[in-house]
Structure 1
Amino acid sequence: MTTGLRFLVLGSAAGGGLPQWNCNCANCAAARDTSSGLLLQTQSSLAVSLDGETWAIFNASPDIRQQIQQTPHLHPKGLRHSPIRSVVVTNADVDHIGGLLTLREKQGFDLFCTATIGGVIDANPIFGVLDPAIVRRHAIRLDETFFPLEGLEARIFAVPGKVALFLEGDTPDLGLEGEQTIGIEFLVGGRRAYYIPGCASLPDWLCGRLHGADLVFFDGTVFADDEMIRAGTGHKTGRRMGHMPIMGDEKGPGSLHSLSGLEIGRMIYVHINNTNPIWRDGPERKAVTAAGFEIGHDGMEIGLA
């Protein structure tokens, strides 16, 4: 019996999680200190259900074993069983497909992805551990309806992005709109929700699509475009990595400004990098919450009746 859309944030952090294994930035150091109050966060993933019994997973994080273990809803109910009915992949980044290797234990589920993302999976023979006799692959097309769970109507749509890091050439196209980076639209009982963990920009057409939505999970990778450079943890900007910064600058507006006028019911940042200052109390976090936005965290649950 349908009870309404139910969302569980399995992982709220970007690739590497919080703390990242080789990083001792201020956030990572605090996350290792149990007295700091900053909790560990796993890599990007979302679980969705209509009845609380069967679930669809959106992005298979490398942390998926830990995420399942800390989420009783996803525990097996029999000797060999899983309430996970399907997995949907929004891009071919390692933090979104690496967990498929954990789901290799001869347990059946439906795997939904675009033909482009499926081609990346097929090109790496290690993913052959997913027995095609029991892991049923479905190629989904942009703007066509599919059902990751019975009764759960969803559509995928292209969002600005780029190919996965391990597929980049010397000069990757940072404004691609196609099957390599997608957003998910959920439609149940007149309610609209969106999951967009990776997005390079918010053009007018995308703002129009999100306008008036009941719920949006959006890419919160970096607060400032040059955040990683200033932190000394990397040499790439957020935009170079294919992620729109939360705060705008002379190069363009940030997602906080672009999304603020769209009359969205609840706006939640996910896929948050370990360097992002919104993880901790401070002016950046206050700017986000003062605008009515929420900061996702592992175990966060949201329901739409």
Structure 2
Amino acid sequence: MHIHVLGAGAGGGFPQWNCNCFNCDGLRKGTIKATKRTQSSICVSGDGVNWVLFNASPDVLQQIQDFAPLQPGRAVRDTGIQAIVLIDAQIDHTTGLFMLREGKVKREIYCTDMVYGDLTSGNQILNILGHYCGVNHHNVPIDGKTSFTIPNVPNLKFTAVALKSAAPPYSPHRNDPHPGDTIGVLIEEISSGKKCWYSPGLGEIEPHLPELMNQADCIMVDGTFWTDTEMLDLGLMTKTARSIGHNPQFGKGGMIEELDKFGDVRKVLIHINNTNPILREDSAERAVLNEHKIEVAYDGMDIIL
């Protein structure tokens, strides 16, 4: 199984267009050791030819340009992308669908009923896309037991589970969370049995998750914030990391402590906010992650299982 990180940043990417925090300012001026990141997305293949795109970030066109296997190769109008799985309905994971409107082949969209509802009501991306290429919606089961496969994507199967989280600000049920607003997915290569757990939005390791995560050879999870009060401390937000659905890395019950429980498997943080000090490769915070054998995803990162 080939997992390619198209984008490793959180909403806004790194540097964020309107941010002058230490990280963003330092990256622009070249005064910190860091690399830019586009907004969070991965693609996965079991044969190196047919790919599943996980989320469609606002940077999707640049991400496709940077990864040849997704580009046209077999016909005048073509792509290696056979389907798109949406983890949630957040702006930074769905706006790129607008950029994939060209052509006459309907986009195969896999998402939960809750996400489909948000993207046809509060933010009508899928309705608008229907006026261009068209959409085939496939409901994703979220019981953590029912696996599904995707036509034209050989050798892969997927098992999704609901995660505790908040719906997007535009959602009709923003303040009334429902199962399926956000999911985590166990991706399995059928021939080898190798598995990757993917959850770029993860507020906590809920009791029903270890059963799936313990199966994984690679765990790729939410790396948005270093501390729970990161945005508060910088004066950029009035809410904590956990209150908006992201478990921070540092502190009691944080992602470092939780990931240590999964033993000697590959562990990778993705969806990293521009304010997070782990973006600085020589930071003390990055050194802590290195001690715990936790990697920080970057654009262009390849994981072969």
Q: Decide which of 162, 166, 171 is 2:170's aligned counterpart.
A: 166
Deviates more, 1:217-226 or 1:125-134: 125-134
Query: Cα deviations across residues 6-37 of structure 1 (Å, max 9, x unaligned)?
Result: 00000101111101111010111122234644
Q: Which runs of 5+ in 1 are unaligned?
A: none
Alignment-derived partner of residue 113 in structure 1: 111
Task: Give percent identity, aligned residues only.
Answer: 36
How far residue 258 of structure 1 moved from its aligned partner, in angstroms, is 1.1
RMSD, matched Cα? 1.9
How far residue 106 of structure 1 moved from its aligned partner, in angstroms, is 2.1
Asked if residue 194 in structure 1 is aligned to residue 197 in structure 2, the reply is yes
Deviates more, 1:13-22 or 1:68-77: 68-77
Native 8 Å contact 1:211 1:264 kept in 2: no
Alignment-derived partner of residue 130 in structure 1: 129
Give the secondary structure class of the aligned counterpart of 1:240: helix
Alignment-derived partner of residue 260 in structure 2: 260
The TM-score with structure 2 as length reference comes to 0.91
How far residue 65 of structure 1 moved from its aligned partner, in angstroms, is 0.8
Distance 2:207 2:255 in 1: 12
Alignment-derived partner of residue 43 in structure 1: 39
Native 8 Å contact 1:216 1:264 kept in 2: no
Deviates more, 1:118-127 or 1:236-245: 118-127
Alignment-derived partner of residue 80 in structure 1: 77
Q: Which runs of 5+ in 2 are unaligned?
A: none
Give the secondary structure class of the aligned counterpart of 1:128: helix
Native 8 Å contact 1:9 1:301 kept in 2: yes
Alignment-derived partner of residue 69 in structure 1: 65
Alignment-derived partner of residue 11 in structure 2: 15
How far residue 283 of structure 1 moved from its aligned partner, in angstroms, is 1.4
Query: Cα deviations across residues 184-233 of structure 1 (Å, max 9, x unaligned)?
Result: 11122222211100011112331343125200110011010001111222
How far residue 168 of structure 1 moved from its aligned partner, in angstroms, is 7.4
Against the structure 1 CA distance between its residues 214 and 86, is the aligned structure 2 distance closer, same or farther, given a 3 Å change threshold?
A: same
Distance 1:73 1:200 in 2: 33
Distance 1:113 1:209 in 2: 19
Distance 2:103 2:264 in 1: 41
The TM-score with structure 1 as length reference comes to 0.91
Give the secondary structure class of the aligned counterpart of 2:4: strand
Native 8 Å contact 2:167 2:173 kept in 1: no
Native 8 Å contact 1:161 1:200 kept in 2: yes
Query: Cα deviations across residues 79-123 of structure 1 (Å, max 9, x unaligned)?
Result: 211111000001011011111111111253311001111111111
Q: Decide which of 145, 152, 158 is 1:154's aligned counterpart.
A: 158
Asked if residue 216 in structure 1 is aligned to residue 216 in structure 2, the reply is no
State the aligned residue count: 294
